[in-house]
Chains A and B, each alone.
Chain A
Amino acid sequence: MLVVGTTIGIVATWLTVFHRTPGGISDGPWKTNLTSGSARSDPYQRAFVAIHGLLALNQSEAIYYTATVDNDGHALDGRCRYEITGHDPDARWWSITAYGADDYLIPNPAHRYSVSETDIARAASGGFAVQVGGERRGGNWIPVGPGRFSLTLRLYNPGPSVVRDPAHTALPALKEVSCS
């Protein structure tokens, strides 16, 4: 009874924390939880953040959106090529970073891991397009490995529109272009 109960308890923890998707608020493929990092966080969210995003700042300083699927709901797969399109989110500074299934930066020959408000190339309209995966095509490119990956959109000092309504703020679209 002790062995079976302990096993069930540990498996339940594993399933609810390690295989949990970042919960809370959704905006297209991007998900966030506004209690991340704060003492208001529930025990499950606190455990989730400790495993997947330890030392996250609370929402007054930064909001972290994570995408594990594209706009059509398909899991992000390193064998596919994606395009992120949009305009600068409402924040003092923002970045989009790719992480492997282990939540660390993905090894790649170019040593590129992110694009940000600082270095992104924009069109005359102010919009941008970023290629994720595949071979390099232009400067806005985040290489990823062959396996599952996720993208984190960091908004440092988020603007009023994000803070007011984080589920309906203008965030970039994430669409699959091709799959090998």
Chain B
Amino acid sequence: MSRQNEWAMWIAATIAVAVLVHVVTIYALPRRIMARTLRRMGPPNTIHFAKRPDETSRGVVSPSPDLLYSACPFDLSKGPLKITASVPHSTYWSVSGFDAATNNFFVRNDQQIAGDSIEIIALRPGMPLPPLDAAPVRVIVFVPTNKGLFLFRLLINDEKQQPALDALRRQASCGTVASLPTPH
């Protein structure tokens, strides 16, 4: 092989490696960032109430200082997840689901829910639906990945109402259906 051909081969191989590394890192970045965020939030299948975002908040980038966030990182390998929450109708409220690749696969806000509470059953496609008791508003959600996050947003539309809104959001719960009491 001539020296010129050796150089051409070297350049082609280097470009191939560069493209491969670039594609892999672009694909992996959101998944790694999401996995790290979920780990930092704490144990899965339980709800975590974040303090109101301020300049010291480092949990998630670009937080809104006008919202109260609550999060339920989940791991569906342990079975379906049950989420319950009180829904205010005096301000913006939403619950949204994010998969392991950061995609927002589900969202409901207060204007889309008729009652004052909601129950969400989250499960992977193919998982059998667990036995359920009666619930005023229940949503069944099929989740694309085993791990991910349900995130509650609650707008503080009146500073004086913050304690009441904080108390309301703390009524939310999440856990694997297997760990919850069996319905009668």
Contacts and interface: CB of A to CB of B under 8 A. Distances in A.
B54 A105 contact: yes
A37 B64 contact: no
Contact of A1 (B10, B33, B151, B158): B10
B105 A39 contact: yes
Interface stretch (B16-24, B126-134, B174-182): B16-24
A113 B54 contact: yes
A57 B94 contact: yes
Contact of A13 (B29, B57, B151): B29
A52 interface: yes
A86 interface: no
B49 to A, nearest CB: 16
Given A55-B102, A111-B55, A118-B157, A44 B62 contact: no
Nearest to B20: A9
A128 interface: no
A51 B29 contact: yes
B65 A105 contact: yes
Interface residues of B, number: 50
Q: Is the interface of A mostly helix, strand, loop or mixed?
A: mixed
Contacts of A107: 55
Interface centre among A4, A17, A99, A111 (most CB of B within 10 A): A4
A125 interface: no
A95 B22 CA distance: 36
Interface in A2-54: 2, 4-6, 8-10, 12-13, 16-17, 37-39, 41, 43-44, 46-47, 49-54
Q: Is the interface of B mostly helix, strand, loop or mixed?
A: mixed
A58 interface: yes
Interface string B81-117: 0000000000010101010011111010101000000
Contacts of B158: 118
A61 B94 contact: yes
B102 A104 contact: no
A60 B17 CA distance: 39
A99 B105 CA distance: 26
Interface of B: 10, 13-22, 24-27, 29-30, 33-34, 37, 53-55, 57-58, 60-66, 92, 94, 96, 98, 101-105, 107, 109, 111, 144, 149, 151, 155, 157-158
29 contacts: A1-B10, A1-B14, A5-B16, A6-B21, A8-B17, A12-B18, A17-B26, A39-B103, A39-B144, A44-B26, A50-B30, A50-B33, A52-B61, A52-B62, A54-B62, A55-B60, A55-B96, A55-B98, A55-B104, A60-B107, A61-B96, A95-B66, A104-B55, A104-B61, A105-B65, A111-B54, A113-B65, A114-B64, A152-B62
Interface of A: 1-2, 4-6, 8-10, 12-13, 16-17, 37-39, 41, 43-44, 46-47, 49-58, 60-61, 92-93, 95, 97, 99, 102-108, 111, 113-114, 116, 118, 152, 154, 156-157
